[in-house]
Amino acid sequence: MKSLKKLKVGIICYPSLGGSGVVATELGIMMADKGHEMHYITSGKPFRFHNAYPNIHFHEVKIDGYAVFKYPPYDIALANRIAQVIESEQLDLLHVHYAVPHAISAALGKDMANSTIGVITTLHGTDVTILGRDPGLRNTVRYGINKSAITTAVSESLRLETMKLIDPETEIKTVYNFIDEKRYRPVDPGSLKTEMGIKPHEKVIIHISNLRKVKRIPDIIMSFKEIIKSVDAKMLIVGEGPEKLKMEALVKKEGLQNNVIFTGKRDDLPELLAMSDVMFHLSEKEAFGLVLLEALACGLPSVATNVGGIPEVIEDGVNGFLVSLGDVKTAAEKVIMLLTDDKLHKTFKENGFMTASGKFQSAGIVEQYEKLYYEVADEI
């Protein structure tokens, strides 16, 4: 094998707190630590870039509104910026997160720059499970995948669903999501529990998401109503999203205002996980469930739905419990088991550590991506 040069990689992602944004950001940081030069081409600076990294660069996609367009032309502006950065930075490859619109914009940007560099597309779920089911967009998703040198999916479940639903010309590789183990680990929550008005003896159940309809927050709330009949507990709902006002109204309607805390967006997730006892996640669709892995790494077992890629993270009866979608009664029973059986909780906690540090260890997954980078850049 010849000596491997350090690569210049263009990253296209949403600069958000969602799973795709987290993974794209952490991957860039870890690749930069390996000496590669990472160029983020996004509409905003990725949220985790609090510090200056000498070999991580941000190229803003500026989107202006024009009267002739009903909606701002994000995908066109992105393609133009991709073309500019390919030429100005002499990139070796592009890594885009989501087939639509990012793989499409990457293909257009390459053409505009008359470039032959390869594109790696990582599928995160929505681009397949929702857009891929739309007859008007399915061919667009297929086109984005087929225009990519390599396509990866964040779970085996998503890979299989993509092959069945989209039927692309090329095989798709499974490369799991990962977390920053230096951040997500058992930490001292300090006085956080007291500050949030939670009594020392009260158990804490936590849910973290973007509060979209697909997360099935009503199921969590109604299940929690059953849980507190048996256990003194508080429910933390962390995040912001379109369903928040409806969920606050439901909590009030069910008389749970004194037991459910809506925290909004928080930066101290490891501390919140450390002060909690169970992660509660009853989503109807989930390509991977990054928050479940974050919880395992912090010593928190989960009760979650048996959908999508969740069973690849949560092993039923080993590091958590899986329940059928909509079965709020069984979900409540499983949470109560974990909150009342200290031995079981301790076993699940220890098993969770092993899961997080095993097949989801960041070093191994970053190495998989690095090999794909070199493969696409013709360095191997």
Higher pLDDT, 53 or 249: 249
- Taking residues 293-315, what's their average pLDDT? 98
Alpha helix ranges (H) inside 50-165: 74-89, 104-112, 126-129, 138-146, 156-165
DSSP designation for 210: -
Superfamily covering domain 8-178+361-377 = Glycogen Phosphorylase B; (3.40.50.2000)
pLDDT tens across 203-230, in order? 999 999 999 999 999 999 999 999 999 9
Long-range pairs, 255-258, Cβ under 8 A, ≥24: 256/221, 256/224, 256/225, 256/228
pLDDT per position as a tens digit, 28-71: 999 999 999 999 999 888 766 666 789 999 999 998 766 566 66
> Per-residue pLDDT averaged across 229-237, rounded?
98
Taking CA atoms, 336 is separated from 224, 255, 262, 331, in Å, by: 10, 20, 21, 9
**Candidate CATH numbers 3.90.1310.10, 3.30.1370.10, 3.40.50.2000, 3.20.20.120; the one for domain 191-357:** 3.40.50.2000
Section 83-108 average pLDDT? 96
Same fold, 8-178+361-377 and 191-357: yes
Does residue 103 surpass a pLDDT of 80? yes
Give the Å distances, CA to CA, from 241 to 183, 238, 245, 263, 362: 24, 10, 9, 12, 29
Return the pLDDT at 205: 99
> CB 21: neighbour CB atoms within 10 A?
20
Given a cut of 50, whether residue 380 has pLDDT beyond it is: no
Q: What band does 1 get if pLDDT is binned at 50, 70 and 90?
A: very low
Digit-coded pLDDT (tens) for 344-356: 999 999 999 999 9
pLDDT at 259: 98
Q: How confident is the model at residue 252 (pLDDT cuts 50, 70, 90)?
A: very high
**Mean pLDDT in the chain?**
93
Q: Are 47 and 23 in contact (CB under 8 A)?
A: no
Average pLDDT estimate for 184-209: 95
Is the pLDDT assigned to residue 2 strictly greater than 60? no
CB–CB of 31/53 below 8 Å? no
Instruction: Check whether 139 has a pLDDT greater than 60.
Output: yes
pLDDT of 127 reads 74
> Which carries the bigger pLDDT value, residue 77 or residue 63?
77
SS3 287: coil
The confidence band for 16, taking pLDDT boundaries of 50, 70 and 90, is: confident
- Residue 57: CB atoms within 10 A of its CB come to 17
Residue 3 has pLDDT above 60, yes or no: no
Give pLDDT, residue 101: 92
- Three-state DSSP at 371 gives helix
Contacts of 135 (CB under 8 A, 6+ apart): none
Which strand ranges, in their side-by-side order, compose the sheet holding 260-264?
260-264, 233-238, 203-208, 278-281, 302-305, 320-323
Domain boundaries, the chain: 8-178+361-377, 191-357
Model confidence at 17: pLDDT above 80: no
